[in-house]
């Protein structure tokens, strides 16, 4: 049998830990894997673009486990009552090739994106940061706020969205967490007094969510909305003033904010900061930019972390996904009368 974590089980796992402790644990798991970055296979995501969105596969392996995520991004879905992003993931045992986990990843991706953002800020933002602006208050905004509160100690948040009801939704969802929330009438107003700026908008276009005059010295920018070719959020002049940190350079050159820059413009991969081989913020006056597009290693970390949680709490189902053959050469035999439904796989399970 293959372990399966669906939406209901994922909700139960987060509830069992609490949202913020779950985010903190997930952050530590991602950070641990960033420290062993060279151990992973790395390739840009495999994308299939259409006029209305994108469908992507994000694979990686550390030699023991292989994982991939299927994810879409369709901004027009919201107007049709559908989610902009949905996802599922698979984790397999490299030694047998057998899958050991199938999981929902729409909720898990939102959690890992927020945990990765806060992890980057922990290493790049000023230590005295207290206030964050969130521009774009859709599905990711609450996760970002709670991750930054839990991991970086941020308690004041300034919200702006072109749709005021999105900001009201975000504020209402965060009301019980003891955070200081301010709704702002413009993006310019939102960044006033902010130490960290998160941009997380959904439109598939080159946009200017942040103009150069909105970013002062000492700011950390968490740019996570620009995540595919032709979709950016920052004015190019901001990039030239910033120290830029990315996940996997090859992928970010195509999909991130730095698609606006020459290919030889210097950037630093975040794992090098985390393992101490490259400096992060070097001065309180630096502008640091985490140009995040999401990378497969983060999903791999999230799947492994969530699997450990699922096994620990006993919150999962079992899928009859692979036939267990008395004779591995006789697949046709399962079709013989009386054999149907009795050959659920008993494949060995990789260590948790």
Mean pLDDT of 156-167: 97
CATH number of this structure's domain 126-294, picked from the four choices 3.90.226.10, 3.40.50.720, 1.10.1330.10, 3.40.50.300: 3.40.50.720
Provide the pLDDT for residue 339.
67
Per-residue model confidence (pLDDT) at position 179: 98
Residue 210 CB: number of other CB atoms within 10 A?
Answer: 23
Q: Name the CATH superfamily for 2-107+298-335.
A: ornithine cyclodeaminase, domain 1 (3.30.1780.10)
Distance CA 241, CA 276 (A): 23
Instruction: Locate the domains of the chain by residue range.
Output: 2-107+298-335, 126-294
**pLDDT given for residue 340 in this prediction:** 55
Question: CA 78 → CA 81, 83, 202, distances in Å?
Answer: 5, 6, 10
pLDDT value at residue 204: 57
Q: Is 340 exposed, middle or buried (0-12, 13-18, 19+ CB in 10 A)?
A: exposed
Which of these, 133, 77, 26, 91, lies nearest to 316 by C-alpha position?
91
CA end-to-end distance (rounded Å), the chain: 16
Q: What is the pLDDT of residues 78-116, one digit of tens each?
A: 889 998 889 999 999 999 999 999 999 999 999 999 999
What DSSP string runs through 106-156? HHHHHHHHHHHHHHHHHHHS-TT--EEEEE--STTHHHHHHHHHHHH---E
Whether residue 149 has pLDDT greater than 60: yes
pLDDT at 352: 46
238 burial type by CB count under 10 A (0-12 exposed, 13-18 middle, 19+ buried): buried
- Model confidence over 196-221: pLDDT tens digits? 999 998 665 667 889 999 999 999 99
CA distances from 114 to 58, 74, 100, 110 (A): 18, 20, 26, 6
Task: Give the residue numbers annotated as catalytic, written as ranges.
Answer: 227
Q: Do domains 2-107+298-335 and 126-294 have the same CATH topology?
A: no
Q: What is the pLDDT of residues 16-43, one digit of tens each?
A: 999 999 999 999 999 999 999 999 999 9
Taking residues 167-171, report their average pLDDT.
98
pLDDT for position 351: 45
> What are the tens digits of pLDDT across the range 238-268?
999 999 999 999 999 999 999 999 999 999 9
pLDDT at residue 350 greater than cutoff 50:
no
The whole-angstrom separation of Cα 187 and Cα 190 is 5
Give me 308's structure tokens.
């450990």
pLDDT tens profile 269-325: 999 999 999 999 999 999 999 999 999 999 999 999 999 999 999 999 999 999 888
């Amino acid at each position: 049998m293959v372990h399966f974590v669906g939406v209901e089980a994922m909700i139960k796992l987060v509830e069992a830990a609490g949202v913020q402790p779950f985010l903190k644990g997930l952050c530590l798991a991602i950070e641990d894997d960033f420290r062993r970055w060279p151990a992973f296979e790395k390739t840009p995501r495999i994308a299939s673009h259409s006029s209305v969105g994108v469908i992507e596969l994000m694979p990686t392996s550390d030699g023991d486990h292989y994982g991939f995520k299927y994810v879409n991004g369709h901004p027009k879905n919201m107007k049709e009552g559908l989610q902009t992003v949905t996802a599922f993931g698979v984790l397999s045992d490299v030694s047998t090739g057998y899958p050991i986990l199938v999981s929902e990843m729409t909720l898990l991706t939102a959690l890992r994106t927020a945990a990765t953002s806060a992890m980057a800020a922990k290493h790049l933002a000023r230590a005295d940061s207290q206030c964050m602006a969130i521009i774009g208050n859709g599905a990711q905004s609450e996760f970002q706020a709670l991750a930054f509160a839990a991991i970086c100690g941020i308690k004041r948040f300034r919200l702006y969205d072109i749709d005021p009801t999105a900001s009201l939704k975000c504020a209402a969802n965060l009301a019980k967490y003891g955070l200081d929330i301010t709704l702002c009438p413009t993006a310019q107003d939102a960044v006033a007094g902010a130490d960290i700026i998160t941009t997380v908008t959904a439109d598939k276009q080159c946009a200017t969510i942040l103009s150069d005059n909105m970013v002062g010295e000492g700011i950390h920018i968490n740019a996570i909305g620009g995540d595919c070719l032709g979709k950016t959020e920052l004015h190019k002049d901001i990039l030239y003033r910033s120290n830029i940190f990315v996940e996997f350079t090859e992928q970010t050159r195509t999909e991130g904010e730095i698609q606006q820059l020459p290919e030889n413009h210097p950037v630093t991969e975040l794992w090098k900061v985390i393992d101490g081989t490259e400096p992060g913020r070097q001065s309180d006056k630096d502008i640091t930019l985490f140009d995040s597009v999401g990378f497969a290693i983060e999903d791999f970390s999230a799947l492994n972390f969530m699997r450990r949680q699922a096994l620990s709490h006993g919150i999962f189902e079992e899928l009859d996904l692979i036939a267990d053959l008395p004779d591995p050469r006789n697949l046709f035999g399962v079709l013989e009368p009386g054999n149907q439904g009795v050959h659920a796989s008993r494949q060995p399970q990789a260590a948790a």
